[in-house]
Amino acid sequence: MKLGRLLALGLITSQAALATANAQGVPPKLPEMVVYGGNRIPITRELTNIRMDKIKLKVEDNDWKTVLQETVQVNETGPGGPVSLFMRGSGSSQTMFMIDGMRMSSATTGAPNFAAIAPGLLTSIDVLQGGASAAFGANAVGGVIRGSVDIPTGLTVSAGGGSRMSERAAVSAGARDDRFHYGFRVVQDIINQGSATNANNLWSYNPDVDIRKRIGVVAKAGGMVTDNLQVELTGLYSGIRTMYDGSATTNDLNLQAIGMGNMRAIYHLPDNMRAIASYGVATDRSTLRGSTPMVLNTQSLQGNVQLEKDMKIGRVFVGADHEIQKVSSTTHYTENQRTNVSGFVGTQLRAASMVAEGVYRHDENSQFGGYNTYNVSLARIFAENWRVGALASTSFRAPTFNDLYWPMAWGFGGNPNLTPERGAMQEVFMMYEKGDARYRVGAFINNIKDAIVINSMWSQMENISHAKIQGIEMSGAQSLFAGLSTRVNVTVQDPRNEQTGMVLARRSQVWGTAALRYESGPVMLEGIVRVEGHRFDDSKNTARLPTMAIVGLSSSYKLPGKGPILRVQVDNLLDKEYQPAVGFRGIPRTVWASVSHTF
Read off the pLDDT of residues 35-58 as tens digits, 9 standing for 90 and up.
Answer: 333 456 665 667 688 888 888 887
Instruction: Kindly tell me if the per-residue pLDDT of 91 is higher than 80.
Output: yes
pLDDT of residue 222: 92
d(CA 537, CA 99): 31
Instruction: Kindly tell me if the per-residue pLDDT of 2 is higher than 70.
Output: no
DSSP category for residue 399: P
pLDDT of residue 458: 74
Which of 116-120, 198-202, 517-521 has the highest mean predicted lDDT (pLDDT)?
A: 517-521
In 3D, which of 402, 295, 304 has the Cα closest to residue 344?
Answer: 304
> For 185-189, 373-377, 452-456, 517-521, which range has the lowest pLDDT when averaged over its residues?
452-456
Q: Are 543 and 580 in contact (CB under 8 A)?
A: no
pLDDT of residue 462: 85
pLDDT of residue 37: 37
Those residues whose C-beta lies under 8 Å from the C-beta of residue 215, and which sit 6 or more positions away, are 118, 186, 187, 188, 189, 238, 239
Instruction: Kindly tell me if the per-residue pLDDT of 488 is higher than 60.
Output: yes
pLDDT band at 293 (very low <50, low <70, confident <90, very high): confident
Q: Mind listing the pLDDT tens digit for each residue in 413-436?
A: 888 888 899 999 999 999 999 988
d(CA 183, CA 169): 17
**Average confidence score pLDDT of the chain:** 84
DSSP character string of 515-533: EEEEEETTEEEEEEEEEE-
Largest CA distance in the chain: 72
pLDDT of residue 15: 34
In 3D, which of 229, 315, 322 has the Cα closest to residue 275?
Answer: 229
Q: Mind listing the pLDDT tens digit for each residue in 232-286?
A: 999 999 998 877 666 666 677 788 899 999 999 999 999 999 999 999 999 999 8
Residue 454, class by beta-carbon neighbours within 10 Å (0-12 exposed, 13-18 middle, 19+ buried)? middle
pLDDT of residue 288: 82
* Span 131-146, average pLDDT: 85
Question: Could you give the count of Cα atoms lying within 13 Å of 267 in the half-sphere of its Cβ?
Answer: 7
Instruction: Kindly tell me if the per-residue pLDDT of 231 is higher than 80.
Output: yes
* Span 510-525, average pLDDT: 94
Domain ranges for the chain, please list them: 2-598
pLDDT of residue 431: 95
CA–chain centroid gap for 253, Å, is: 26
pLDDT of residue 182: 94
Task: Measure CA of the first residue to CA of the last residue in the chain; give whole Å.
Answer: 57
pLDDT of residue 22: 32
pLDDT of residue 237: 96
Percent of the chain at pLDDT > 70 equals 85
> For 80-94, 190-204, 497-511, which range has the lowest pLDDT when averaged over its residues?
190-204
- The superfamily CATH assigns to domain 2-598 is TonB-dependent receptor, beta-barrel domain (2.40.170.20)
* Span 404-420, average pLDDT: 84
Instruction: Kindly tell me if the per-residue pLDDT of 299 is higher than 80.
Output: yes
**Helix H or strand E encompassing 362:** strand 354-365
Instruction: Kindly tell me if the per-residue pLDDT of 598 is higher than 80.
Output: yes
Q: Are 221 and 181 in contact (CB under 8 A)?
A: yes
Q: Mind listing the pLDDT tens digit for each residue in 334-381?
A: 888 999 999 999 998 988 899 999 999 999 999 888 999 999 999 999
pLDDT of residue 257: 93
More confident residue, 122 or 203: 122
* Span 509-529, average pLDDT: 95
Distances in whole angstroms, Cα of residue 371 to Cα of each of 365, 368, 384, 397: 8, 8, 39, 11
Full-model pTM:
0.86
Q: Mind listing the pLDDT tens digit for each residue in 168-209?
A: 899 999 998 888 999 999 999 887 766 655 556 555 555 556
